[in-house]
Amino acid sequence: MLTLVTGTTGQVGRRFVPRLLAQARPGERVRVLVRDAARAEPFAQLGAEVLTGDLRDAEALGRAVAGADAVVNIAAAFRGVPDDEARAVNRDAAVELGRAALAAGARRFVQVSTGLVYGLGRGRPLTEEDETRPGGAWWGAYPEAKAQAERQLLALEGLDVGVARLPFVYGEGDPHLAQALTWAGRWAAAQRLHMGHHADVAQGLLRLLHAPGIAGRIYNVADDAPVTAVELHQLNGAAVPAELHERSDPDPFFQVMSTERIRRELGYRPLYPSVYAARAAGAL
């Protein structure tokens, strides 16, 4: 089995690939597509095949999917990129990758998406059956592009597509936790953020990659304990701005996701049920 992984030099991909390689069985190979071969050297040292190319280049896509049995598409563009780039990477390139994988004979395609596709909360944890309503001020065109990519990939006949919707991802030296203060400082004190440690994101993706019979299924991947804006400041050792306590939370269930489906169907259990468990284990 040959698995192609994209987005491997990003925060999620660079932590997923070593785990994928570590649990590979005899005969299982991993290929990574990167724009800068030097940044993929750690993967090569672990045994990955490195291909250099851009996800938006048709020739590079053809080389990347040649002989692949499965694809894990982690590539993403967000946090401040222009809307045109967000759509080009998160929607257009993802769909073209799916079509190329199908043409090359790949059997499984794991699309990494985001809980932001749900948009507004529903007064309860969001489930995979909820309608996607991306929009608002969060991350520009990113959520909408991801939602469109999901729909188009799931519509590809003959390709076994599974979708992983991720929360706010943190841990293992990822700067995201500190960066959260750039916007959490504008929240209400009790406004919550649903999180997932890199180890648990990798666990979820590996389950989607290998589990039989999940074609067309969408899974939320997250921990058990969303944290508040106050907690985000405390976790970063930062003073809590007094004005947080003067604001009200406009949507208490924004991006708070249910993980019942992935628990029941794929046996997922967070290694770090909360950011506090990760901190106690020295895994931040």
Q: What pLDDT, on the 0 to 100 scale, is given for residue 45?
A: 97
| Cβ atoms 172, 201 nearer than 8 A | no
**Rounded to whole angstroms, how far apart are CA atoms 236 and 113?**
27
**Rounded to whole angstroms, how far apart are CA atoms 150 and 109?**
11
Q: What is the pLDDT along the chain (284 residues), one digit of tens a residue?
A: 999 999 999 999 999 999 999 999 999 999 999 999 999 999 999 999 999 999 999 999 999 999 999 999 999 998 778 999 999 999 999 999 999 999 999 999 999 999 999 999 999 999 999 999 987 666 689 999 999 999 999 999 999 999 999 999 999 999 999 999 999 999 999 999 999 999 999 999 999 999 999 999 999 999 999 999 999 999 999 999 999 999 999 999 999 999 999 999 999 999 999 999 999 999 99
132-141: long-range contacts, CB 8 A cutoff, minimum separation 24 = 139/78, 139/79, 139/86, 140/78, 140/81, 140/83, 140/86, 141/83, 141/86, 141/87, 141/90
Superfamily of domain 2-170+195-223+256-270: NAD(P)-binding Rossmann-like Domain (3.40.50.720)
- Domain residue extents for the chain: 2-170+195-223+256-270
Q: What pLDDT, on the 0 to 100 scale, is given for residue 81?
A: 85
Phi-psi region of 98 (alpha: psi -120 to 50; beta: other; left: phi over 0): alpha
Whether the CA torsion 58, 64, 66, 71 is positive or negative: it is negative
DSSP E strands, the chain: 2-6, 29-34, 49-52, 70-73, 108-114, 160-166, 168-170, 192-193, 195-197, 218-220, 227-228
> What is the dihedral angle through the alpha carbons of 52, 57, 59, 62, rounded to the nearest 10 degrees?
80
pTM: 0.96
How many other C-beta atoms are found inside a 10 Å radius of the C-beta of residue 240? 16
Q: Edge-to-edge, what's the strand order for the sheet holding 160-166? A: 49-52, 29-34, 2-6, 70-73, 108-114, 160-166, 218-220
Q: What pLDDT, on the 0 to 100 scale, is given for residue 136?
A: 65
